[in-house]
Structures are given as C-alpha cells and as structure tokens.
Amino acid sequence: MKWRKTMSAILATALLFSTMAGVPSITEAKSKKDTKQQKHHQKKKKDKETTKDNFSPVDESSLNLDRLVKNLQARGIIAEDATQDEIRDSIKEYLEDKRIPSGPDTSSSFGAEAKRSQEAAKEEVIQNVAEFKGKKRSRNFDDNMFVDNIVVSLIEFPDRLHNELPKVKDSIWTADFNEEHYEKMLFEPGGYTTPEGTSMTTMAKYYEEQSRDTWSVNGIVTPWITAKHSYKYYGKNRNGGDAHPRELVIESLEQVGKAIAGHEEEYDQRDPYDLDGDGDLNEPDGILDNLMLVHAGIGEETGEDDDAIWSHRWTLEEPVKIPGTNLLAYDYMIQPEDGAPGVFSHEYGHNLGLPDLYDTNKGGHDSPVGAWSLMSSGSHTGYVFQTEPTSLDPWSKMMLQEMYGGKWVSPKVVDYADLRKKQKFTLHEAVNKDIDNNMVLKIDMPEIMKDAPTKPFQGEYSYFSDEGDNLTSTITTPEIDLTDATEATMTVDMWRSIEKNYDFLYLNAIDVDTGEEELVEDWSDDPEEWEEVEIDLSDYVGKKMKFQFEYVTDAAMTKQGVYLDNIVVSVDGEEVFTDDAEGKPKMDLDGFTQFDGKGKKYDAYYLVELRSYNGADEGLKYFRRGETFLTYDPGMVIWYYDGKYGATEDNKTSLHPGHGMLGVVDSHQQIKYWDDNKKKPADARYQVSDAAFSPNRTSEINLDYILGKMWSPSRKGVTTFSDEKDYSMPGLEDVGMVLPQVGLTIKIKDVEEDFSKATIEVWKD
C-alpha cells in the first residue's frame, strides 16, 4: 500500500483520537479554527461555523414531493384544503433551514487533505476526458468484470424497530425487510421482485449494464442490530442538520468488522481520494471502500417525522478503526428502511466520484438534465418511485472510464473545424452492451474564454485564491520575528468577491514556537474593488510568528474569490517583510496562485447519444407524478459541456441562467406550465421530457399532481439541431442553453423503430 508520509501520520492520529473520543454532531463538527480564536472572536466565529463547510440546501427535485406534502398535511403543517400556491410556499418554508452534509469533512486535517488530493486527481481526470480524441489511452485498462464490494449495515432503534413501516403506495414495501431483501435489491445481477410483486432494477444489474459488463457490485448485509439511543437522539434537528448520525455509524462498526474480518482485501480495492497522490484510484488505501447504513423507519425527507435522520452521504470527522480488522471507516451513506435502488445507485455514483447534475442551489427551476441522467432525477424513475433508474449521462460514463477503466463508453471524436462537409455517423442506443464503439459522438468545440473580474493591482502579478465550492486556499508569510517589537501592523491591497456569511477570508496568526493559531481578522463581503486594508498585529509582539490568509468556501453558491497584492508587515514603523507578488513568491502558496490578469481558456464539447426504452432506460417511461406519469420521449439527445463551469462542477444554472457544466439541448422550446398559468412554469424535469431529437411526435402530457395539473399536446418531432437557433428557453432561461454559434448542424436521419440504432449527419456551414 502506497502512503504519503503526511497522510500516514494524519491517519495514525485520527485512529488514536477516534477510538478514544466521542463523535460530535454534524453541525457541531470540530473546526480546526475553534482552537485558534481569541475570546472576542469566539461567538462571531461560531455563528459562521454553523453555516459553512460541507452543507448544502435541500433541492426540491431530489424529493418525493407527493409523499412529503401528504405527510405535512397529516401533521397540520400544510392545510388539507391548501391551494397549489399555498402548498408551494409551505414546502419552501419547510425546507428553508434544512441542510444536507456532503463531501469530506474539511474541519479535520485529514478531511482537508483528502479533499485536496481528490480534487487534484479529479482535475486531471476532467482534463483527460476533455482531451480524449478516440485514441488508445496510455494506461492499460482491464476490461474484465471488476466487482466492487459493499458492506450494508442494518440498524434499528429501541423505539423504532424494523418491519413497522406502513404500506405506502409509491414506495417500496415488503412484509420482511430482512437481510435477504437488501442482498437481492442491491446485488442480484438479474433484477429483483419482492414477494409482493414489486419489480426493480438492482444496483448490480444497473452498473453491469452501464459499464457494459466490466463493473458490478456485490457485498454483505449484516443482521439488524439495535442502536444505543432513541432514533431522536441521532436525527433530532440542530441548526438545520441531524444531531448525531455519525455516532450511529460508529456503533455499526463492530458488526461491520465481524462481517469482513479476514476478507479486508475484498473491501479495500480503491483509493477514491488518491491519498498517495499518484493518480491511481484503483489501489488499496486502508479505508473501507463502501459502507451503506440502513436505519429502521422512514427518512426525515418524507416529512413524516422531523426527528428522523435525513438521508445523506458524508464522512466521519476522521477515519475510525473498524474493530477486528486492519481497515478504517470514513465514507458512509445512510438510507431509510424503504430505500430503493435508484437512490442507492445515485449515492454510490457519488462514492465513485460523480457529482450531482441537478442545480444544488436553492431556488430556480433546476438545470436542464432531469431524468436523462442517474445523477439528476434519473434516480427517481420507475413505476414504483426510484425502482428503475435511468442511464448515466455520457459525460459521467467518460469520467468513470477514465478513473477506473472498463468499457463504460468510448466516444467517436470529431473536431467542429473538420465538419465542413457532411459526415455520417452511426449511433447505437446508450444501453447497448454488445458494440465496442458508436455509442457516443463527441464534437470538440472552440475553447471558451472566461475573463478575470479584475487586473493585478500594480505590476504584472497579484495573488489569487481561486474560485469554487469547498475550497480551502492559503497563503502564508515566512517567520517574522516580533520578539523585541513594541508594535506591528500589516497592510495589504485586497480585492474581494465573497459570499456573505457563507464563505470567508481569514487572517490567521501562527505562533512558530507552539504551533498555536489565532484568528486575527475575517472578511465575508463582496465590494469587488481594490482597497488597502491595515491590520494591527501588536497582540503578537514578543513572539516569532507567521501570518496566513485562508480563503474557505462552502458547498453551495460561489463568488469570484480574493486577490491580494503588496503584502507588507511593519515593525515599529519599519517594513520587515514585503511581497508584491512579482517574481518568485516570498510566501508559501497552497491554493493561492500568481495571477497575471489574463482570463482562462476552458474546453467545450457536445456529446451526442441515442436513448431508447430498452434496458435501464425503460425508466424513461415512468416519471411518477401522483397517480399519473410523465414520459420522456426517446431519440437523439445532445449534451453540451462547458469547461468554464466544469472546472468547479458547477451546474447551478439558477445563478447563471443558460450556462452550466452540463445539460441537454431541448429540441422543443415551448415552456410547460402548471394549471396553464404563465406564472407557474414547471421546472426542468418537465421541460426536458421532449428534449430528444426524433422524427416521431412527442408524448402527450396529462398530469394530475399535488402541485397542480399539466396538459401539453403531442407535438411534431424535431429532427435537426442547428446552433443558429435559440435554445435558451426564453422566459425560463435557467432551463435553457446558451450555445456557441459556429454553424454546426446535427440531424437524425434513419432510426430503428425501437430507437436501438440511428444514422446521424453532422456538418458545419
């Protein structure tokens, strides 16, 4: 096993600490800054800590709204006779303060380092996907079936046992939620039908199909055990999150250890955080690859009980030893007793490194993906909710191909500049397991320039924090001797664009002799202009110190970051340290870079695929809305990838309408409304149901749902995409796509009746 020395030390410390100490609540997770505050900063800092790292607002599109509303009505939170407008307002109010954890817990040194390593590895993968030209890769990928093993730990509560769930029409129910049920639902390669007759696509069947028989899942399900405390102890709301769910994970580890002892190598095959920094994710790292907890009862997301645990995927604060084994536990996923394969498959996709493709920002009408991908609402499809997840989008398949090898997808690649003459291409349906290529056409487009929001303050360079979600960027002075000083100050020219109350720039003081840190000053605003800032450092006279600017962002909205220039430390009126960002940096940069005033160029490309109703994509028929179904029409689906947003995996189109990392081009640009009311546009899940290009007419839409009624007639099919047309969905721009205009045309010509195969023509005028 390869280990970075620093990571080894961190793991050893984490192991000792975690086996001796209790686990804090999610919202009270220890912050490394808690130990470095001066007394007059403590309350101010604590308030900020409850709102930043690792938490995202709840997105309505991730919920079963029908079930949520019915339960909120039963509890009197929503009136039985509430209008659709009142229901919408009540849902928004109910979800307003909810926060879901995600990603490594960067409050610990291990989590921060793991995230940095993972992001560095993923950046390389994203770049390799963008640069893929259809040639053989330099790495030797194994196309044999890889089996990723999972531990499913079942845990009930003294006051909430398993097998007490009532029947709910649009959710899984079986008389006995025993180990066999989860073994079959997740690991049965041929699919699973409950004793009551509910059929579903298992995780194993799904991933075998998506990878074209080169990736599967298997594992072990532990017997139900009883937690130490009431379910309310773990799930009670605290500052928008659950109180102690990670304690439940810790309690399960003894049972997990008994299940895998002697077989550790089968459950540690991957290095998803690239802890040794070698870019190889297919190697052991000493951490259990997949831990899925199933708790008795419902999840809080149903609206039935606010003290239940809200389903999520996160990490422990630091790795914890699994008793009786040589492995550590870190990542975990937690789902309710009636969890379905769609959401298990979606969360497992995160464990493999895939991001959410829905708009994770609160508000807006969602990104233009919908049920076209598992990593958006495709996890919700099926005659019974979440039982028939739809295929992964082609970009996610390319990511998995690059990270893990196999036969997920190998696109045919053409550059837009080489399309001066019409070229014909054959497309096979996305679920085809027998064809080695012609599953996706990748059309490389001109690079996109993103201009910088400012220029260096003076000279040729300034320092830049970078921008993005879940960042921790630092820039640190060398040692500054204040032993004989009577007063000290720092001046710095600063440009800030920081999300107020959620993202922060800190100035930390580090005692060289003791290593202790204190918070000197912080900023959380967006003046977006250069200003000179002066900070008094006199509290640190008599010591040898380092001073560090630290830029930290959360998991949601991101602004443009921080630029610094002319950093000067003066002691008793004399300058003892200066750094104007010119030449070789005098400060230690970790995340900060030298900025030359130029913008960045990013890759852009189209991914063209053919979707049918075969295999996993049978789920496209069944997007349940109450007792009615929205059907996604098969055909040629055109995806557009914009690297300007892909660099930060930003699909938050509500913040930049018409632009995002990845979305489908909607062939039909008619906006659909609830109750035929122009003030009630439906979100992207409904708008893109007819996005595919096809000679066939679209399906009629006739929905009767908790949010209202929707009717839309069958419309004539659209066979031709031309970038000279407007695909921005005027009037609902966050669901539209603003595309580059280079004269590109893509036309679907001959197509099999079941959409298993088609011929397309591509050219540039």
Measure the CA–CA gap between 141 and 148, rounded to whole angstroms.
16
* Contact between residue 431 and residue 391 where contact means Cβ atoms under 8 Å apart: yes
- The CA-based angle 415-418-422, given to 5 degrees, is 115
From the number of C-beta atoms within 10 Å of its C-beta (0-12, 13-18, 19+), residue 463 rates as buried
Measure the CA–CA gap between 339 and 182, rounded to whole angstroms.
10
Measure the CA–CA gap between 216 and 397, rounded to whole angstroms.
14
Length of the chain, in residues: 765
347 flagged as catalytic: yes
Q: What is the DSSP string of 386-409?
A: TSSPPPPPHHHHHHHHHHH-SSS-
Measure the CA–CA gap between 233 and 440, rounded to whole angstroms.
49
Q: What is the DSSP string of 201-245?
A: --HHHHHHHHTTSSEEEEEEEPPPEE-SS-HHHHH-EETTEESSH
**H-assigned helices in 360-489:** 394-404
Of 314, 240, 247, 301, nearest in space to 50 by CA? 240
* Distance set, CA 575 to CA 449, 488, 537, 539, 571 (Å): 39, 10, 13, 18, 6
Measure the CA–CA gap between 280 and 324, rounded to whole angstroms.
28
Residues whose CB falls within 8 Å of the CB of residue 179, separated by 6 or more in sequence, listed in order: 154, 221, 222, 223, 224
Residues whose CB falls within 8 Å of the CB of residue 14, separated by 6 or more in sequence, listed in order: 108, 110, 318, 319, 320, 328
Measure the CA–CA gap between 581 and 81, rounded to whole angstroms.
64
Measure the CA–CA gap between 31 and 105, rounded to whole angstroms.
9
- The CA-based angle 115-118-124, given to 5 degrees, is 140
- H or E element, residue 154: strand 146-156
Give bridge partners of residue 606 from the DSSP assignment.
443, 640
Of 309, 63, 59, 311, nearest in space to 170 by CA? 63
Residue with tokens 């919202």: 27
Tokens of 214: 């080169």
Measure the CA–CA gap between 131 and 603, rounded to whole angstroms.
8
* Contact between residue 503 and residue 493 where contact means Cβ atoms under 8 Å apart: no
Most distant CA pair in the chain, distance: 85
Residues whose CB falls within 8 Å of the CB of residue 547, separated by 6 or more in sequence, listed in order: 476, 477, 480, 490, 507, 508, 509, 510, 520, 537, 569
Of 284, 365, 264, nearest in space to 324 by CA? 264
Residues whose CB falls within 8 Å of the CB of residue 736, separated by 6 or more in sequence, listed in order: 368, 657, 658, 666, 669, 727, 728, 729, 730
Tokens of 525: 């605003």
Measure the CA–CA gap between 433 and 614, rounded to whole angstroms.
11
CA distance from start to end of the chain: 54
Q: Would you put residue 683 in left (φ > 0), alpha (ψ -120 to 50) or beta?
A: beta
* Contact between residue 408 and residue 400 where contact means Cβ atoms under 8 Å apart: yes
Q: Rounded to the nearest 5°, which phi and psi values hold at 752?
A: -65, 155
Active-site entry in 113, 209, 337, 347 = 347
* Residues designated catalytic: 347
